[in-house]
Amino acid sequence: MPDWNLASVFESVCEALPDRTAIVQGDRRHTWRALDERAARFAAGLAAHGVEPGSKVALYLYNSNEFLEAMYGSLKARAVHVNVNYRYLENELAYLLENADAEVLVFHGALAPQVDAVRDRLPALRVVVQVDDGSPALDGAVPFEQFLAAQDPAPRVERSGDDLWFLYTGGTTGMPKGVMWRKEDFYGSLGESTYPLFGEVLPEVSAEAGAAAARVVEAGTAPTHLPASPLMHGTGVMTTRCSWGAASSPSRAAISTPTSCGRPSPVGRCRSWRSWATPSPSRWSGRWRPRRPAGSPTT
Q: What mean pLDDT comes out for the span 116-127?
A: 96
Q: What does the pLDDT read at residue 298?
A: 38
Question: Count of alpha carbons within 13 Å of 248, Cβ hemisphere only?
Answer: 37
How far is CA 225 from its chain centroid?
A: 16
pLDDT of residue 7: 84
Per-residue model confidence (pLDDT) at position 212 = 87
- How large is the average pLDDT for residues 167-190? 76
297 within domain boundaries: no
189 is a domain residue: yes
Report the pLDDT value the prediction gives residue 119, as an integer from 0 to 100: 95
Tens of pLDDT, residues 125-138: 999 999 999 999 99
292 within domain boundaries: no
- Read off the pLDDT band of 18 (50, 70, 90): very high
Would you place residue 293 in the very low, low, confident or very high pLDDT band (cuts 50, 70, 90)? very low
List pLDDT tens digits, range 60-106: 999 889 999 999 999 999 999 999 999 988 999 999 999 999 999 99
Between these two residues, 185 and 140, which has the higher pLDDT value? 140
Q: Is residue 14 situated within a structural domain?
A: yes
How far apart are alpha carbons 130 and 258 in whole angstroms? 14
Asked whether residue 40 is domain-assigned, the answer is: yes
Asked whether residue 289 is domain-assigned, the answer is: no
- The domain of 143 spans 6-283
**Has residue 293 been placed in a domain?**
no
Give the CATH number, domain containing residue 182. Answer: 3.40.50.980
User: What was the pLDDT predicted at 243?
Assistant: 61
**Within-domain flag for 146:** yes
pTM above 0.85, yes or no: no
The CA distances from residue 185 to 177, 191, 213, in Å, are 19, 10, 21
Instruction: Kindly indicate the confidence band of residue 292, based on its pLDDT and cuts at 50, 70 and 90.
Output: very low
- Strand-pair partners of 31: 21
Q: How many domains does the chain have?
A: 1
**pLDDT for position 132:** 96
Per-residue pLDDT tens digits for 228-279: 778 887 666 766 665 655 333 444 555 554 433 333 333 222 222 222 222 3
Is the pLDDT higher at 184 or at 28?
28
Nearest alpha-carbon partner for 136 in 108, 95, 168, 163 = 108
Higher local confidence (pLDDT), 106 or 209: 106
Task: Provide the b/e sequence for 211-234 (b: ≥16 CB within 10 Å).
Answer: bbbbbbbeeeebeebebebbbbbb
Sign for the pseudo-dihedral over CA of 189, 154, 232, 248: negative
147 φ, ψ (degrees, to nearest 5): -60, -40
- Tens-digit pLDDT profile for residues 34-66: 999 999 999 999 999 999 999 999 999 998 899
